Structure 1
Amino acid sequence: MNDDDVPQGEAERLFTVPITAELATVAATILKRFRELADDSLRLNHPEAFEQNTNSLLRKEDGELDALSEPLRSERHSLHGLLLETASLTKDNALDHVRALEHDLLMQPPPVWSPLALSRVVMEGVLFSEYLLDPTIPLNRRLARLAGMWRTDATYAQKQAEAHGQESAEAGQMLAYVEDALQKCQATERRNPKGKLVGYSFGSESEPLDINITQRATKVMPDWLPAPYRLTSGAAHNRPWMIGRARDLAGGEGLMGEAATVMAAVMVSMGAIETVVRVFGEYFGVDVSEALQMMKEEREAFLYEAIAIAHR
């Protein structure tokens, strides 16, 4: 949808009405449709299909790793395998939250802010996957991104273990394992002038310790979806400036869900699914153009149907 699709001044009034069962049903249906299109187009349950695509980035990078001498070849192959596993894990978690959102929308009484919180998890899971499989970057930068994320996660795991009373030695085992593995992969630590670890380098390619989700969302989410990360922030962080709208809609007592919340959650989730389909398709060499075109057409049809339902 572009600016020409909605009359001037109309956007401010769209969907500022309570959630109806009809709107919730249509929204849940389109999410299920997108999720199934993603599964079908990528054959996500059959990874061996990807390996048949000899021109894929995956096969190209496997060849680059094969050209290394031992033991570096085996160590970096293991790290690359972890990268693929991590990208698949975050994608699967994102799609699982789409499924949760489908059910959440159908609750009675209708949900209030939970759809936006769920859609934020969908988007973040997709952005992690995209960050690792980004088809525009070279292999060494990809490995540097995984190294930073892995090291950051190991630190989080250590802090969580210590918070639950585990012994320091036990809590530090994962961190020590990660540091040893990265050293064997010849990952170079990057430190700031104060000596603090800020990222890793592989050859001439460097990346920070972790993804900047806000910047990533701005860069890679579809351009028909303005500021998707900030759109979900107020609800996900329980900020009064945003969640107070639900009390106003309810007349000052209790909370009432708004159709605009449903629409925002659905649009963010659809944009995230389109993104992950595109990125997985490009990296693994799967033609997803038909699925993306179907998503575009069905997204636009859903939007007009939802407007008609909400403002009948």
Structure 2
Amino acid sequence: MMKANQKPKPHAPPRPLFSCGFFRRCTQSVLSPTSPHQQQPRRKPTTTSSSSSSSSTSTSQSFTQWRFPHHLDPTPSTAPPPPPPPPPPPLPVTTTLQETFQIAELHLTSVSESDKLLALQLLERVVVPDPPSDPTCPPGLMRCLVSCLRSNNKIVTAKYVTKILLALCLAEGNRHVAVEAGAARAVIETAAGLEISAVERALAALELMCTTAEGAAEVRGHAMTVPAMVAVMARLAGRGREYAISILSIVYGKAGGGGDSGEEIAVAPAEEVARAVALALEGECTARGRRKGAQLLKTLEEYGRLDLSQNGT
């Protein structure tokens, strides 16, 4: 029993569950990489709290750097790009046309594409503004032009080649040279892949080549002539459509110097060609093209009846 004058002992305060200073600090303020640190009362640093604080700070910085990476400076570099190399100087224009042909042929036989382009530009400057009537284009130069038309770089070279070929074919002597060099076959086989302006000039040159007997025979005997002309006729208008109709008339008719030579004629079904021609005549076409188209439709009608009568016998 307790004595009457003895006071009861005060109970000691309950001991906290964790006495770690770091845990006590964490419970007082929640650390977050996105919230500002609250001002804490100044404490006397100890070894344990210093190491814990350093660990907590490095952890917070690591998390912040991972969550919010440093971005590169989006400002573009102010250094100017290197200037492109200067284009080669153009080939000089010589005093005679034959010398120009020789220089152009020499450069067109080179393996360098830039040399070929310079030669085509030289011929364009000399031949196109003033088409020559004499002397005749050398066969070697004409073969080089045909090779350029067939090259993989048609988009660049065809613009020059078709201009030069048309200007040269204005002279009758050059039409024979062009056909012998394979220009007629090259135009037929590449027309579908040329741009509008280039294919119009190519067909104009082909029509001029067909004024020779060998040119008309080449066009009639080529299996791709009719499908190629039908395809480009749908793309073209005006004079381009007129040229395509004229070449089809040469295939099915006796125009162009072919005569009754008896050469083999490669044709498509007359009904399909007639439908394509009639559709072309409904659009934009020249007066000459409409006259040739009307004559071609009559020829195709007779040709179709001839085929039917032959099949019936």
Superposition TM-score, scaled by structure 1 size: 0.21
Decide which structure has greater helix share.
Answer: 1
Higher relative contact order (CA 8 A, sep 6+): 1
Rg larger in structure:
2
* Structure with more strand by fraction: 1
